[in-house]
Amino acid sequence: MKDKIIIKGARVNNLKNIDLEIPKNKLVVFTGLSGSGKSSLAFETIFAEGQRRYIESLSPYARQFLGQMEKPDVDEITGLSPAIAIDQKAHSHNPRSTVATLTEIYDYLRVLYARIGQPFCPECGRPIKKMSLEEMVESIQKNAAKNKSAYATIIAPIVRGRKGEYFQLLQNLFEDGFGEVRIDGKIKSLHERIEMSRYGMHTIEVIVDKVLASDQTRLFEAVETALDYGKGLVIAAFANNEEVLFSSHWTCPHDSFAFPEIEPRLFSFNSPYGACEACHGLGRDFFDETKICEVCNGARLKKEVLAIKINNKNIHEVVSLTIDKAYEFFAELDDVFSENEKNIAKNVMKEIVSRIEFLLEVGLDYLTLNR
């Protein structure tokens, strides 16, 4: 009895009152024609009874959450242990589902990248910073000290490398009370007529003010005005001709590449905000599913999204890691993050790490998060 499961009088579905003995600790295979009752015997009789007895053994409190299970139509089963069943049913065939999305790790990663990710310009690779007015004023004062310059000239970029004569624009600046502009790098007075070649490319910047760097109030006003005219960009120039360009948007100050607002949905390949436009976030060629998308190389996201990094890795590079390597990546962040970043990331990191630890515990260390 100890080394067998003995079944008497099984009648579930098509089963014709069968008796059967199954040896334990052996690999046993049921074969037969479709509809001959293989599943009725394996799942609906043996497994169902094992499951039912297991649930019966639990406390009434636990049982109320699991519901009553029907006793299968069988006279007797002996030698049965608690049973588990793995069936071949494919639950969902969503081509966008991965280990990371099913475990919600991806959702937490999106939040982490939106809060902590450092954007780099996808055109020139330079890090991009978004600064507040206060941060700009502070930085201008520091730069003035570094460049041994008592004054800072605050300049607003208006036109960058575009064709035109711009009479009206210069007229408007004059009427707004500005005295000087810098045209293609040369300072000109707005009191005089400025000639520009109609078909040449021009860069026009307006000199907003020349301010004593120690004059906090006037510096604030000048930077605020410059940001207004420069649509979020401002240049501070110092006595030694050093210049620093600031941006109040996620915009590359060098080539004006503008980032959208960095928020979790940007990192989703299920959202039009983040998905690669060529493959619609599937990572495969839109017209030929056997080919990897040439625009995103299978990363499924827009290039600017892939230019946002945490510890030198973008979100696609993180989900391409195997689960054990991903664990190392997150453990390392503890040494990389500043105190402030640690505070921002604390809860999200906890959720990610606990899920990765679970995957490791169940022995899935070799899977990549984007499988």
For Zn ion, the binding residues (CB under 5 A) are 121, 123-124, 252, 254-255, 276, 278-279, 293, 295-296
Q: Is 238 or 269 the residue whose CB approaches Zn ion more closely?
A: 269
Q: Is 7 or 296 the residue whose CB approaches Zn ion more closely?
A: 296
Q: What angle do CA 178, 179, 181 make, to 5 degrees?
A: 90
User: Bridge-partner residues for 201, per DSSP?
Assistant: 163
Question: At what angle are helices 323-336 and 339-361 packed, to 10 degrees?
Answer: 160
Q: Is 176 or 294 the residue whose CB approaches Zn ion more closely?
A: 294
**What is the Cα–Cα distance from 160 to 205, expressed in whole angstroms?**
8
Q: Is 87 or 255 the residue whose CB approaches Zn ion more closely?
A: 255
Min dist CB 258 to Zn ion, Å, is 10
The label of the residue with tokens 């502009």 reads 181
Min dist CB 93 to Zn ion, Å, is 21
Min dist CB 61 to Zn ion, Å, is 51
Min dist CB 29 to Zn ion, Å, is 44
Q: Is 39 or 270 the residue whose CB approaches Zn ion more closely?
A: 270
Q: Which positions ≥6 away from 46 have C-beta within 8 Å?
A: 5, 7, 22, 77, 80, 83
Q: Is 109 or 279 the residue whose CB approaches Zn ion more closely?
A: 279
**What is the Cα–Cα distance from 32 to 49, expressed in whole angstroms?**
22
Min dist CB 155 to Zn ion, Å, is 20
- Residue 259 DSSP symbol: P
**What is the Cα–Cα distance from 124 to 255, expressed in whole angstroms?**
8
Min dist CB 281 to Zn ion, Å, is 7
**What is the Cα–Cα distance from 369 to 371, expressed in whole angstroms?**
6
**What is the Cα–Cα distance from 155 to 152, expressed in whole angstroms?**
9
Asked if 118 and 308 touch (Cβ cutoff 8 Å), the reply is yes
Q: Is 303 or 346 the residue whose CB approaches Zn ion more closely?
A: 303
Q: Please give the torsion angle defined by the CA atoms of residues 363, 369, 370 and 371, in that order, rounded to the nearest 10 degrees.
A: 0
Q: Which positions ≥6 away from 176 have C-beta within 8 Å?
A: none
Min dist CB 291 to Zn ion, Å, is 11
Q: Is 124 or 336 the residue whose CB approaches Zn ion more closely?
A: 124
Asked if 115 and 337 touch (Cβ cutoff 8 Å), the reply is no
Min dist CB 285 to Zn ion, Å, is 8
**What is the Cα–Cα distance from 25 to 3, expressed in whole angstroms?**
8
Element (H, E) at 22: strand 18-23
Q: 3-state DSSP helix/strand/coil percent for the chain, to nearest 5?
A: 35, 20, 45
Min dist CB 276 to Zn ion, Å, is 3
Q: Is 141 or 320 the residue whose CB approaches Zn ion more closely?
A: 320
